[in-house]
Amino acid sequence: MSIRFDFANKNVVVTGGARGIGLQITRQFLEAGASVAVWDFAADSLASAKSELSAFGAKVSFQQVDVSKLASCEQAVAALPYNIDILVNNAGITRDKSFSKMSQEDFEAVIQTNLGGVFYVTKALLGKFNPDSNNKRIISISSVVALYGNFGQTNYVAAKAGVIGMTKTWSRELARKGFTANAIAPGFTLTPMVEAMPAEARKAIDDKIPTGRMGKPQDIANACLFLASDEATYITGTVLSVDGGLVC
């Protein structure tokens, strides 16, 4: 039996929802009946997502937002036509370099987007959650590297570990107000960036994963829809690894 989620009458914001994992999360929420506001920075990705998701009509809306700036998030909140039930903090960037070569700018850019962005978006949207719901959801996309470190990713690992810390704190602070707060830690996931890697490099990664393959965006989206569902109401403050057994 396949699990079918029903998000009719639920409103969702997905940051970084115009491409890659975020686009798949957006698509699956729409297919399950939700209304989704896509907040993304990149005009070209917003335009292509708009055309790809046109069949969903007014159920999907698109806003150009820079999650690394609180003012941009607040403007987007003011333009939202509805209260929300579910927030997915997915937008993220990388600026990989070994620690000895990593500049202050590389460090701050990634912290500002991947950690600051989760703080700013959630802060801006907190008062916009449906006050009548006891099933409010904050889901933030961290990474498997937050759990074990990674060469060349001091900035990214610090930000993604910070996301886990904020998630655990929010799970405590917001539980009595009807929220759960959880993080997902994807392993290597086949987005266009990874698909463009040489076949040998991809094979070397596949060989290190116990299940023998990288994740698909659907694998991450499936976990996200489960955590967003009413069935996951007693799960909060957790980090769900979706990594084919890479970290276990």
Ligand X SMILES: NC(=O)c1ccc[n+]([C@@H]2O[C@H](COP(=O)([O-])OP(=O)(O)OC[C@H]3O[C@@H](n4cnc5c(N)ncnc54)[C@H](O)[C@@H]3O)[C@@H](O)[C@H]2O)c1
**Binding region for ligand X (CB under 6 A):** 15-16, 18-22, 40-42, 45, 65-68, 90-93, 113, 117, 141, 143, 186, 188-189, 191, 193-194
In angstroms, give the least distance from the CB of 17 to ligand X: 7
Find out whether 155 and 143 touch, Cβ atoms under 8 Å.
no
Identify which of residues 20 and 162 has a Cβ nearer to ligand X in the complex: 20
- The residue whose two tokens read 């297919």 is 31
Instruction: Report how far apart, in Å, the C-alpha atoms of 10 and of each of 36, 41, 85 are.
Output: 9, 24, 6
Instruction: Work out the angle at residue 41's Cα, subtended by the Cα atoms of residues 38 and 42, and round it to the nearest 5 degrees.
Output: 100
* 134: nearest Cα among 180, 184, 167, 166: 180
In angstroms, give the least distance from the CB of 134 to ligand X: 28
In angstroms, give the least distance from the CB of 218 to ligand X: 12
Separation between Cα atoms, residue 179 and residue 166, nearest integer Å: 14
- Can 156 be counted among the known catalytic residues? yes
Catalytic residues: 156
